[in-house]
Amino acid sequence: MFLRAHQRSKDGKEHTYWSLVEMVRTPEGPRQRTLCYLGELNDSAQARWWKTIEVFNEQGESRQLKLFPSHVEVPEDDPHVARVLINQVRLERARQFGNCWLGLELWKRLGLDHFFEEVLDQEPAEVPWSRIAAVLAVNRLCAPGSELAIEERWYPSTALDDLLGIAEGKINDTRLYRCLDRLLPQKSKLEQQLRQRYGELFQAEFDVLLYDLTSTYVEGAAAQNPLMQRGYSRDHRPDCKQVVIALIVNEEGFPLSYEVFDGDRAEVTTLEAVLRTVERKYGRARRVWVFDRGVVSEENLATLRKRQGSYLVGTPRSKLKQFERELLEGGWEQIRPEVEVKRVRVPSGEETYILCRTPARREKEKAIRSRFSNRIEEALARLEKRIVTGRLKNRNKMERQLGRIQARHPQVADLYEMEILEEAGHFRLHWQAMRDRRAWQEAREGAYLLRTNLQADSAAELWTKYIQLTEAETAFRALKSELSIRPLFHRLERRVKAHILVAFLGYALWVTLKHLLRGKNIEMSPAKALALLSTLQSADIVLPTTEAREIRLRRITNPSAEQQNLLARLNLTLPERIGLPLECSADSAVA
């Protein structure tokens, strides 16, 4: 790092401006990157930086200083003069700034700073709990980690101490855990606050609700947490105990609410509990519920109809058999190059079914069937050979082996006829593909069935509304990837639930950034925007003086052209300075 002089001619006079730069390696070779502009330097007897800076001493008293290079002559009796040893200027205390600052800006846009001040800061505390909550949420958005990782690695590397006004050493895992305990009771109020702000910021409506479930697993035995159970693992970790998370979002992905269930809770049994929760918080209204076939049961649909609710749902694959004739006949409507739909009315007239099919899905299911068919046929051929060659003679063992083969290939086992036959005292395995079943399997590949009690919409509109269920899937994907909700390391049930609440807060910030970018037609994901701004740093420029003092200027690095463009399009302005121990100043003088 070094100081670089820039010569400018203005009004017939030569001016010298100074900047602090560093050398960086680029594909085109070494280049200079400007870290900070320091001001103007005139030459000859009047050479000095006319730009003054406000500094604070250790007692908090402020004054203005005029900076001079150490090699120029200056009045000896001016107490406001500081002569800087230019060759000793250095940069210290570099901190991540851009992504944390953006996270706090999103926090403020959602009104969460004032919300948590009202609900948490009534209790006196050395560090306001509302600010600890902001630390947890911004960490979940920018660099998800455990409470211990926040204390030891992440928080000390960020500028949040300046942005939030939290003194050094005041963030520790104990304080973070205590904040988790205070956050959980505010869940209902928080959901209502977010719903209101989504409406104010984005005109978000919650007439159509998308409902889906996922699971997240815990590391360890979780002996003290009855919530943790073994069940169907969507994370492909059946060896771990888990919890089930039910999430409700609107068509644009804004979350309305979520619920946590035992890890062995079946999807189909969760809907009524969620309906009661939503009605308790937001009242009973004629909402449209969209969910997939895992939640569908006749009892659930009857419950929705009883509550004057509408639904648009997927159906189990077995339901397609009732519409075999419609599936094989024509009359399909092409609504997209890769999507065909057909509206089918049932005799009762209360419901409408929508047949849908896509070539891409058909090819995928065909490839899956082909792969499993090859595997089961190879396994059957090996068993047949063992029986014929006499290596397997016990009929009971033959049948057990055949049962294992069927269990390992449930996707295609019903497409084959398999049995052990005995002829003249000898056993043999008879198996063959059932042509009628395989023909039906091929006919239904790529097809799926929707079911609704909505009356006014066309088949294309109903399909479009159902496909918005991908917004719930996107939310889960963000929670599990960018926001790293898994795995869980907490032992206690309340801490597990609070961890999920913090992830929900992180998703609230994430989806807000997503729609801010979308609203400005910025083709960039939230993760990419955060990564782009993460290279913005705050740092202290240390100016040693001839009087054995140091002037410390806390500044933010200059944004690149791409960063500046992103900030301008989002209507965000970087602060000119960020605080040292005192508000309103980033500069200090140390003797």
pLDDT tens per residue across span 509-537: 999 999 999 999 999 999 999 999 999 99
Q: What is the DSSP string of 414-460?
A: GGEEEEEEEETTEEEEEEEE-HHHHHHHHHHTTEEEEEE---S--HH
Q: CA nearest 375: which of 410, 427, 399?
A: 410
Look at residue 276 and tell me whether its pLDDT is greater than 80: yes
Q: CA nearest 427: which of 469, 387, 389?
A: 387
pLDDT value at position 583?
32
Distance CA 359, CA 447 (A): 9
Look at residue 25 and tell me whether its pLDDT is greater than 90: no
Percent of the chain residues topping a pLDDT of 90: 59
pLDDT value at position 515?
96
Average pLDDT on 290-312 reads: 91
Longest dimension (CA), the chain: 122
pLDDT value at position 75?
60
**Domain-by-domain residue ranges, the chain?**
2-96+541-590, 361-444
Look at residue 578 and tell me whether its pLDDT is greater than 90: no
Distance CA 128, CA 116 (A): 10
pLDDT value at position 47?
38
Length of the chain: 591
Look at residue 200 and tell me whether its pLDDT is greater than 60: yes
Average pLDDT on 552-557 reads: 86
pLDDT value at position 58?
47
Say which range, 58-72, 100-114, 576-590, has the weakest mean pLDDT: 576-590
CB atoms closer than 10 angstroms to residue 144: 19
Instruction: Indicate the SS3 state at residue 188.
Output: helix
Average pLDDT on 578-587 reads: 44
pLDDT, the chain, mean: 86
Percent of the chain residues topping a pLDDT of 70: 87
User: Is the pTM of the predicted complex or chain greater than 0.85?
Assistant: no
Look at residue 218 and tell me whether its pLDDT is greater than 60: yes
Look at residue 305 and tell me whether its pLDDT is greater than 80: yes
Higher pLDDT, 397 or 27: 397
Average pLDDT on 538-559 reads: 86
Look at residue 231 and tell me whether its pLDDT is greater than 70: yes
pLDDT value at position 308?
86
Do you find a cis peptide bond into 487, omega within 30 degrees of 0?
Answer: yes
Q: What's 489's DSSP letter?
A: -
How far apart are the two ends of the chain, measured CA to CA in Å? 24
Pick from 29-38, 47-56, 254-263 the range whose average pLDDT is largest. Answer: 254-263
Say which range, 2-6, 471-475, 497-501, 541-545, has the weakest mean pLDDT: 2-6
Higher pLDDT, 547 or 473: 473
Average pLDDT on 410-422 reads: 92
Distance CA 158, CA 51 (A): 29
Look at residue 57 and tell me whether its pLDDT is greater than 80: no
Question: Across the chain, how many H-helices and E-strands are there?
Answer: 18, 21
Average pLDDT on 463-483 reads: 90
Distance CA 182, CA 176 (A): 10
Look at residue 350 and tell me whether its pLDDT is greater than 90: no
Q: Which amino acid would we find at residue 293?
A: R
Give 33-44 pLDDT, tens digit per residue. 776 666 664 443
Look at residue 233 and tell me whether its pLDDT is greater than 80: yes
Beta strands in 307-455 (DSSP E): 310-314, 333-336, 339-345, 352-357, 416-423, 426-433, 447-452
Average pLDDT on 487-505 reads: 92
Task: Record the tokens describing residue 363, joined without a space.
Answer: 């090819």
Q: Rg of the chain over CA atoms, in angstroms? A: 33
Average pLDDT on 55-74 reads: 56
